[in-house]
Amino acid sequence: MPGTPRQIEIAPSILPADFSRLGEELQLLEKASADRIHWDVMDGTFVPNLTVGPDVVAACRAAVSLPFEAHLMVDDPDLLAPRYVAAGCELVTIHVESTRHLDRTLHGVIEAGAKAAVTLNPATPLESVDNVLHLVDMVLIMSVNPGFGGQKYIAAQEAKVRRLRRWILERELDVDIEIDGGISVRTISDATAAGANVFVAGSAVFSDPEGPEHAITALRTLAHEAQ
């Protein structure tokens, strides 16, 4: 419902997971009360790193009942998006910077049967999503330059989140704002206060000495307090 506080969701990234036992790692995250799984899909050219193909996602689909979202950091999202939908992703987010025809690429995700979202790198202006905001269920604001986990949070992105939240409210749209990169107990409160409601966390979840449940619970509590 536009205008009411949006549901807080914690979306652990698979990037720091033990790839030799990915299914079990996802089951640990499900047990730890994660709301969704954030698949960081990297093709080695859009970003200087290479991760998982659709077959890996498909192989993990039956391991948990959590929603899967694919964060496509790829040079050819028109080719790959339908493959990740078929692999079991309920939502696919497309980097503005990765396609010449963003409206068409987003329609491709919707026609493949998934929710569409759009992602902005730190240097990409919010204006680039002005004409597709009505098509998406979520906007992902990068608070790091994509390609790796464990990077420093770029607090300046909160201004972009604040403006975006205003746009969404003014247009009475039902759109989540996700923020991704450097989210931890030190940064999630400010990110929430700016207007984000879905939080990707990789290192903060996997490096917590008390385990993922402690990390996810701490993040969710801080976000609720800051909303």
Q: Which residues are catalytic?
A: 40, 180
**Which residues on adjacent β-strands are paired with residue 115?**
91
Which is nearest to 160 in space by CA: 132, 129, 186?
129
| Cα atoms in the Cβ-side hemisphere of radius 13 Å centred on 78 | 9
Residue whose pair of structure tokens reads 């498909």 in the numeric block: 58
DSSP string over 168-217 = HHHTT---EEEEESS-STTTHHHHHHHT--EEEESHHHHT-TT-HHHHHH
Distance of closest approach, residue 46 Cβ to Zn ion, in angstroms: 12
| Cα atoms in the Cβ-side hemisphere of radius 13 Å centred on 164 | 35
| Cα atoms in the Cβ-side hemisphere of radius 13 Å centred on 165 | 22
For ligand DX5, the closer CB: 37 or 104? 37
Q: Which stretch binds Zn ion (CB under 5 A): 23-31, 39-47, 57-65, 166-174?
A: 39-47
For Zn ion, the closer CB: 108 or 182? 182
From 35, 176, 180, 208, residue interacting with Zn ion (rule: CB under 5 A): 180
From 71, 83, 115, 220, residue interacting with Zn ion (rule: CB under 5 A): 71
Does 178 contact Zn ion by CB under 5 A? no
> Terminal CA-to-CA distance of the chain, rounded, Å?
16
Distance of closest approach, residue 4 Cβ to ligand DX5, in angstroms: 27
54 binds, among ligand DX5, Zn ion, none (CB under 5 to 8 A by kind): none
For ligand DX5, the closer CB: 109 or 191? 191
Binding site for ligand DX5 (CB under 6 A): 13, 15, 38, 40, 71, 144, 146-147, 149-151, 180-183, 200-204
Residues making contact with Zn ion (CB under 5 A): 40, 71, 180
